[in-house]
């Protein structure tokens, strides 16, 4: 096992250097690669009892990483809070900043009692599933336009042994949205990257993750398309009075929080939550 991990770590470190990684020293990079190698070996040996098959599997995984494929896709899973979620391209990989605020929200909702929650743009289902895992009495509906997302969210709910409903819904279809009924709380991690910034994203993101799950621009190139849509929908019966401390909780991109709060101001008072990396990451509409 150790020689296999060492080989994988050396290969990964060489691959990172070849990719001209500039955000770490070679020593730091090697330490990171050693950790990633352990994960790759563990994943390979879990699937293949035969050492030769496991070695071939690790080599294949390293080659995928060298081609810039995100490690989460190579491993097939991604931690999210206490959960281990399945991930596969092109469904967006859950990010640490999303994990951070979802855990914080779950804690704030513990004393609110049973709630009906709508998770828009659910992707892998990470937000809805973590809330359902924490708040066992909560009624959760997770929706997305992409059938691949709906299928993966349902698969992850079964994997994590939580009960959520999943449905394919177009956020921009008035009839479909209003047919969902009223909710105590809406949560959403929408596409919010301006289209002009898309080409600046890392190659691994552009090559493997869904562009439509990332870019939130249309006529206005500011990434705020989905927040404007929420402003249209919220006063039209999507929310109901409840014991929830928040009516809406949305993730926003770096530098967008003030603009999003201004959009929601006519509906009610808002709070901003900072992530551990110093960005105002969430705008929450208070009940």
Count of beta carbons in the 10 Å neighbourhood of residue 202 = 11
Q: Which residues have CB under 8 Å from 130's CB, separation 6+? A: 80, 81, 83, 99, 102, 103, 106
Say if CB 192 and CB 130 are below 8 A apart.
no
Alpha-carbon span 39 to 34, nearest angstrom: 9
Average pLDDT over residues 8-31: 52
pLDDT at 80 over 90: yes
Neighbouring-strand partners of residue 144: 168
What fold does the segment set 78-286 form as a domain? Answer: Rossmann fold (3.40.50)
Using CA of residue 176, residue 180, residue 186, residue 190, what is the dihedral sign? negative
Q: What confidence score (pLDDT) does residue 16 get?
A: 55
Q: What confidence score (pLDDT) does residue 53 get?
A: 80
pLDDT tens profile 160-186: 999 999 999 999 999 999 999 999 999
Closest listed residue to residue 68, CA positions, set 200, 204, 202: 204
Q: Which residues have CB under 8 Å from 265's CB, separation 6+? A: none
Q: What confidence score (pLDDT) does residue 30 get?
A: 46
Give the lowest-confidence range in 51-65, 100-114, 204-218.
51-65
Tokens of 174: 């008035």
Say if CB 220 and CB 186 are below 8 A apart.
no
pLDDT at 115 over 90: yes
Instruction: Provide φ and ψ at 10, rounded to 5°.
Output: -65, -40
Bridge-based pairing of strands 165-168 and 139-144 is parallel
pLDDT at 283 over 70: yes
Alpha-carbon span 146 to 169, nearest angstrom: 8
Domain boundaries of the chain, sorted by first residue:
2-67, 78-286
Q: What confidence score (pLDDT) does residue 58 get?
A: 77
CA dihedral 54, 59, 61, 62 (to 10 degrees): 140
Mean pLDDT of the chain, nearest integer: 88
Q: How would residue 25 be classed by pLDDT, with cut points 50, 70 and 90?
A: very low
Count of beta carbons in the 10 Å neighbourhood of residue 52 = 8
Angle of CA points 197, 127, 101, to nearest 5°? 70
């Amino acid at each position: 096992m150790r020689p296999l991990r060492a080989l994988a770590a050396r290969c990964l470190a060489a691959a990172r250097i070849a990719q001209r990684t500039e955000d770490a020293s070679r020593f730091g990079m090697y330490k990171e690669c050693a950790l990633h190698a352990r994960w790759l070996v563990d994943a390979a040996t879990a699937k293949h009892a035969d050492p030769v098959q496991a070695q071939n599997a690790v080599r294949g995984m390293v080659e995928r990483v060298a081609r810039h494929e995100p490690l989460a896709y190579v491993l097939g899973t991604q931690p999210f809070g206490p959960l281990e979620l399945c991930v596969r391209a092109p469904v967006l990989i859950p990010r640490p900043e999303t994990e951070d605020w979802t855990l914080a929200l779950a804690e704030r909702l513990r004393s609110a009692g049973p709630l009906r929650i709508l998770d828009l743009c659910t992707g892998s289902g990470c937000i809805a599933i973590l809330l359902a895992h924490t708040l066992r009495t909560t009624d959760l509906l997770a929706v997305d336009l992409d059938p691949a997302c709906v299928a993966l969210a349902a698969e992850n709910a079964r994997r994590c042994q939580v009960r959520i409903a999943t449905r394919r819904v177009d956020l921009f279809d008035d009839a479909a949205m209003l047919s969902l009924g009223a909710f105590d709380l809406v949560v959403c991690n929408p596409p919010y990257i301006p289209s002009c910034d898309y080409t600046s994203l890392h190659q691994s993101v552009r090559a493997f993750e869904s562009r439509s799950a990332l870019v939130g621009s249309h006529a206005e190139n500011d990434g705020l398309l989905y927040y404007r849509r929420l402003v249209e929908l919220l006063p039209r019966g999507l929310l109901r009075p409840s014991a929830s401390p928040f009516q809406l909780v949305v993730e926003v991109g770096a530098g967008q929080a003030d603009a999003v709060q201004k959009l929601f101001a006519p509906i009610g008072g808002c709070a901003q939550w900072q992530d551990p990396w110093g960005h105002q990451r969430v705008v929450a509409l208070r009940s």
